[in-house]
Amino acid sequence: MTDTTPCKHEHACVRCPMLRIDPGQRQRLIEITHSLTDRIKEAKSNGWLGEAEGLQVSLQAASKKLTAMDQARSRSKTQITDLGLPQIRQF
């Protein structure tokens, strides 16, 4: 088997800066943030402070990706990208 990326997780960690989430998976990302919030509460109530801190980093990354996804979607609805006109050159 050949690796497609140098990362053995193939950039699938929610906190990975290389991860680009399919906008169609927005609801799944929301579920992940809810799950992380619940797990942070559980970790804190059990005194697992290191675990809670790690989960907090993942929650911040997931929230950031959700915000970026929403901003990209609203930008794409309101902005038109000018690609210019093609020019014919004589050689």
Residues that bind ligand SF4 (CB under 6 A): 7, 9, 11-13, 15-16, 18
For 14-37, give the DSSP string: TT-TT----GGGHHHHHHHHHHHH
* 7 vs 68, beta carbon nearer ligand SF4: 7
In angstroms, give the least distance from the CB of 46 to ligand SF4: 25
State how far the Cα of 81 lies from the Cα of 60, in Å rounded to an integer. 31
* 16 vs 52, beta carbon nearer ligand SF4: 16
State how far the Cα of 15 lies from the Cα of 12, in Å rounded to an integer. 8
In angstroms, give the least distance from the CB of 10 to ligand SF4: 7
